[in-house]
Amino acid sequence: MKTESEEFIPAVSNDPKARLSLGSLVPYAIVGMFFGIVFVKAEIVSWFRIQEMFRLESFHMYGVIGSAVLTGMGSVFLLKRLKVKALTGEPIRISDKVFQPGQIYGGLLFGFGWALTGACPGPLFAQIGAGYSVVLITLVAALAGTWTYGALRRYLP
């Protein structure tokens, strides 16, 4: 039996209205757009690239993920070290991940799905944008999977 305690802990905000104005949300769409362009241009959304990765026949995806993680690590280290504040004025805070058995079971299941579809959730959106309309079905199936998890959650370890 799980509690619902690990619901979203919304970032501390002085003014909830300010955080939900269109103007404050558009920058996220712009960052997402650049992200989607990189996804397609570096062929990370390609089923073939994911096959190469899992067949250990190309370095490309390992290079992408590895250099992304190193870049992220370096930036998080600097942000914490220099005690940088977000543009909203709040101190930057990253909540710690708590270990749960689901990270193993769910992780394996997602790995199966990743190899089948050649996509994680992000690439699904980019693939649809890039004109592969049938991926809409994959996205709906992913939504169904998410919803089913929500419904079965209390019976799962």
Any contact of residue 1 with another protein (CB under 8 A)? Answer: no
Question: What is the distance between the alpha carbons of residues 149 and 25, in angstroms, rounded to a whole number?
Answer: 28
Phi, psi at residue 91, to the nearest 5°? -65, 145
Any contact of residue 140 with another protein (CB under 8 A)? Answer: yes
Shortest CB 54 distance to another protein, Å? 4
- The residue from 1, 83, 124, 155 that contacts another protein (CB under 8 A) is 124
CA 9, 14, 15, 19 torsion: positive or negative?
A: negative
Any contact of residue 15 with another protein (CB under 8 A)? Answer: no
CA 101, 103, 106, 112 torsion: positive or negative?
A: negative
- The residue from 14, 15, 17, 34 that contacts another protein (CB under 8 A) is 34
Q: What character string, x for contact with another protein (CB under 8 A) and - otherwise, covers 102-121? A: xxxxxxxxxxxxxxxxxxxx
Shortest CB 140 distance to another protein, Å? 7
Question: What is the distance between the alpha carbons of residues 100 and 7, in angstroms, rounded to a whole number?
Answer: 14
- The residue from 57, 81, 82, 155 that contacts another protein (CB under 8 A) is 57
| Structural contact between residues 62 and 68, judged by C-beta atoms closer than 8 angstroms | no
Shortest CB 101 distance to another protein, Å? 9
- The residue from 42, 82, 83, 155 that contacts another protein (CB under 8 A) is 42
Question: What is the distance between the alpha carbons of residues 142 and 136, in angstroms, rounded to a whole number?
Answer: 10
